[in-house]
Structure formats: structure tokens, C-alpha cells
Amino acid sequence: SVGLNGVGTKAVNALSSSFFVKSHREGKFVSAYFEKGLLIKEESGDTTDPDGTLVKFISDEEIFGSYAYNNSFLSKRFWYYAYLNTGLTINFNGEKFHSKKGLFDLLEKEVGEEKIYDQIFYHSETLEFAFTHTSSYGENYISFVNGQHTTDGGTHQSAFREGILKGINDYSKKNFQGADIREGIFGTIAIKLKDPIFESQTKNKLGNNEVRSPIILEVKTAIEDFLHKNKEIADRILDKITFNERVRKELQNVKKIAKERAKKVAVKIPKLKDCKYHFNDKGTDGDESMIFLTEGQSASGSMVVTRNVYTQAIFPLKGKPMNCFETKMELVYKNEELYNIMQALGIEESIENLRYNKVIIATDADVDGLHIRNLLITYFLHFFDTLVLRNHVYILETPLFRVRNKKETIYCYSEKEKEKAVKKLKTGIEITRFKGLGEISPNEFGQFIGKDMKLIPVSVNEMQEVPKLLTFYMGKNTPERKQYIMENLV
């Protein structure tokens, strides 16, 4: 535990059918056993076991129902613990998590062969960082404070970005723009800080302003020193920055044309049904904000009627988006649909301007709907991969069946759930198969985008796997993909 809210272990105990904890320290032990949050047995005494704590628990099925652990989430969390505590070994389901080089290993695992040059790595008592460039668009960072993954960054991350800018500019004796230096960068930073102040109870963003100047100075100095000692890497970095600068200038004219076209269409973004509060608003319900990217106007009809106008926006797509794989950024400006999505999200200049905390893909569960999902995910991964890396992209799961009789209605998300519902209702049953979102009435749709909404997160375990996956599924037809399709036909 990194100590988020002071109630972690208590909450696990309260939500477990059984909970056992035993602590060994300096030849003594104390143990306690609970059932459904109530203390059943407590013991203490002498022991010869080494110091440490053992915790066992079984989640309460009466509370969670049928559940399963997200092993990929746990795996990533264990890797972070290993990177931040070099020498620590964690064993989970037969897999060993161990790191000798800390954040160096983290970055190597994330970018792999996608890096343009060998990473720059630095480590001191209170600060550790690593970064390199890839051919991807945008900038990506993984940051930590006292072992806590700060998914929304904060002052340490912004200081890291500024330190990189100053270090490279001072070394090169030039005045590159921040956007040119950061385009394609992938960095990670971890700091140790006494009395950290976070901007929210979830501790996702650091707010200590006093750390900014010391981090900028230490990062700048370390980078300058490294580049003077590693001229080959320094030259590759400057080549990448010069390339970014040239591409940015080439895009300026395309951007101008796209914005002029948008002005002619409408003052606002066409088709967007916006909400009142946004993710980048302060002091509001911005964290609850979301936008649904729907499959056409008919699918968005029920949503528009039943949505929460304060936090839920809707953007109906016009047909299938283009396959963006292996295309350049200028395509986004030339394609009206892709441009409007970017504008609606507010991410043209930076992911920090994102207007919605959740970007939800809402399509039918048929072949066309699944294809649209793939095309949108490809769009985000290719041009705005930080959206996915920061866990902002989701898929809306809607029921496939409605099973009901005169007394009860059950919505089912799979064949298995349908069979279970049929057995439960027994007689007088009517089964409806929903072919698309447009068939679900507004009265019914409200609950599917309300507090019981089911979302599937779009996640990436390692960034280096993305190009391989996109090439396989979204690239030109290959014998390998043909073979895969033939082997997986349903």
C-alpha cells in the first residue's frame, strides 16, 4: 500500500467474507481473524519467524457477486513497485517481478525497439528520471511521488518537462520551442518528497509548488552533463527536434485551411451535444465528465434524451472513420470527421486540455460496430496515444438481450446471462435481441449510461506492443492476418 486515504486495509476487511492478518516484528507476533468485518479471533506471542506481515482475504461474493481480478492491472502495478524498489522481488501467479535498474528498466519495457536513441537516465537520492524519443505523436510521461503513480502528473512532471527543455536548449545554444522538443518524447520520473500535497483525495496529481525550481535545475544540469559526454546521442536528439520543427511548420498551412473550413460550417463543432462541466474546469464536477462517440444519429437519439446534461456529451459519427494507420498528422486536418473529434476533445495543442475525463466509444455489437471501434482506437493510439495510456478511453457495453415476464425485466450482456435469466423467470418469458443501440428506447437507455453503466477500459500494457498490434490488425493485408482470420472464424 502507498497509503492513499487511510482506510485501505479497513475497506478490504469490510468487503471480505474472511480476512486474516499476522504481523511479525522483533521476535513478537500479533494476528487477527475477521469474518464480514467482525473480529472473530485475536492472538499474540513470541515467534522465530522473520519480520514481515501476512494478509489473506476472500472478497465477499454477497457484495461483489461473480467477480474476477484484473490480472493485467495487477501485473502493471507490481512492475511499478519493482521499478521503484530496485532489488525487490514480487511473485504473482508464478510470474516474478524484479528490477535492477529502476526507471531505466521501466522505460526499456515500455518503448523497447521503438526508441530513436539510447535513453538518458539519471538517479539521485530524491530524484530519478529517464527519457527517450520515439516516432509516435505527442508526449508521454509516467510519474511517481513516494511510490504513488501520479496519473495526472503535477508540479514534478511539469518541472521535468521544463528541465528537459532548458537542458537541451542550453546544451545546443539554441531556442527550440517546447512542442518541437517534446513531440514523440517518452519519459518517466520519480521523486521522494516529505509532506507531499495532492490536488485530490485520489492522489493522482502533485500540487507542491516548492519542488518545481529544484527539479528543473537538477534535470537541466543532469541533461546538459549527459549530452556533453554522449555526443552521438546528443546529435540524434537534435536531429529529431529539427525534424519535429520542420513538420510543425509544414502543418501550419494545413491547420489554417482546416480552421477556415470549420468556421464556414458553424461557429460550434457540428453535431456535438455538449455538457455543462468539463474535465479541465476547476471546482466543478469535471472528473465526472464524459463524451460518447456514437455510431450515427439514430444511435445517439436515446442518449440525447436520457443523458445527464451536466456531465455527458454526445458526438454522433458520420459513417466509418478513416483507417489512420501509417498516415501523417496532416490527415487529421484534411479529414473533417477526425478534425471535429480532435476539436471536441480539445486535444489539438496538448492532452492537458482534454475536455472530458472519459472518452466512450458507443457502437453496436455487430461487425460494423466492432470495426468502428477498431478504427477509433487506431486513431487514438496513432495520434493521441496518451489518451489511452492515461486511461481516458472506454467502450460502452450495452445489453444484447432483454428477458422479461409480467413481473420482472432482466437485461443480459451475454448468452450465458440470458440462459441464467430464463431459468430465473421460468414462465411467460419474452426474449428480445437488441440488434443495435437505436433499438433501445430512451426509457431503457437511461440506466445503461447512468450509475450502473458498464464500461470496458481500453488499456495498453506496454507501448512497444502498439506498433506491432496496429501493423497486424490495421496494416496492409498480410498472409499472417489471413491465417489468423481463418483460424478464428466463428
CATH of the domain at 51: 3.30.565.10
Higher-pLDDT residue of 454, 219: 219
Cell reading at 259: 480552421
Q: Is residue 16 part of a domain?
A: yes
Place of cell 530524491: 126
Cell reading at 30: 500479533
The answer to whether residues 427 and 453 belong to one domain is no
The answer to whether residues 418 and 454 belong to one domain is no
Higher-pLDDT residue of 411, 123: 123
Higher-pLDDT residue of 460, 438: 460
Q: What is the pLDDT of residues 370-384, one digit of tens each?
A: 899 999 999 999 899
The answer to whether residues 392 and 409 belong to one domain is no
The answer to whether residues 309 and 343 belong to one domain is yes
Q: State mean pLDDT over 130-149.
A: 92
Q: Is residue 391 part of a domain?
A: yes
The answer to whether residues 121 and 231 belong to one domain is yes
The answer to whether residues 391 and 405 belong to one domain is no
pLDDT reading at 328 higher than 90 = no
Query: What does the alpha-carbon distance between residue 439 and residue 300 come to, in Å, rounded to a whole number?
Result: 11
Q: Is residue 429 part of a domain?
A: yes
Q: Is residue 258 part of a domain?
A: no
Q: What is the pLDDT of residues 65-115, one digit of tens each?
A: 777 888 888 998 999 999 999 989 999 988 999 999 999 999 999 998 889
The answer to whether residues 225 and 285 belong to one domain is no
pLDDT score of 390: 86
Confidence category of residue 3, pLDDT binned at 50, 70, 90: low
Q: Is residue 83 part of a domain?
A: no
pLDDT score of 472: 80
pLDDT reading at 199 higher than 90 = no
The answer to whether residues 16 and 149 belong to one domain is no
pLDDT reading at 197 higher than 50 = yes
Domain end (from 217, 249, 281): 249
pLDDT score of 267: 42
pLDDT score of 283: 65
The answer to whether residues 285 and 429 belong to one domain is no
Q: What is the pLDDT of residues 372-423, one digit of tens each?
A: 999 999 999 989 988 998 889 999 988 888 899 888 888 888 888 899 899 9
Q: What is the CATH number of the domain that holds 465?
A: 3.40.50.670
Q: What is the pLDDT of residues 214-270, one digit of tens each?
A: 999 999 999 999 999 999 999 999 999 999 999 888 888 777 777 666 655 444 677
pLDDT score of 426: 84
Closest CA to 116 of 229, 247, 232, 223: 232
The answer to whether residues 322 and 423 belong to one domain is no
Share of the chain above pLDDT 90, in %: 51
pTM, two decimals, is: 0.71
Q: Is residue 353 part of a domain?
A: yes
pLDDT score of 266: 44
pLDDT score of 145: 95
Domain extent at residue 241: 103-249
Q: What's the domain count of the chain? A: 4
Share of the chain above pLDDT 70, in %: 94
pLDDT score of 448: 84
Q: Is residue 448 part of a domain?
A: yes
Q: What is the pLDDT of residues 286-308, one digit of tens each?
A: 889 999 999 877 667 778 888 99
Q: What is the pLDDT of residues 349-365, one digit of tens each?
A: 888 889 999 999 998 87
Confidence category of residue 368, pLDDT binned at 50, 70, 90: confident
The per-residue pLDDT of the chain, averaged, comes to 88
Query: What does the alpha-carbon distance between residue 293 and residue 291 come to, in Å, rounded to a whole number?
Result: 6
pLDDT reading at 485 higher than 50 = yes
The answer to whether residues 273 and 330 belong to one domain is yes
Q: Is residue 254 part of a domain?
A: no
pLDDT reading at 438 higher than 80 = no
The answer to whether residues 413 and 479 belong to one domain is no
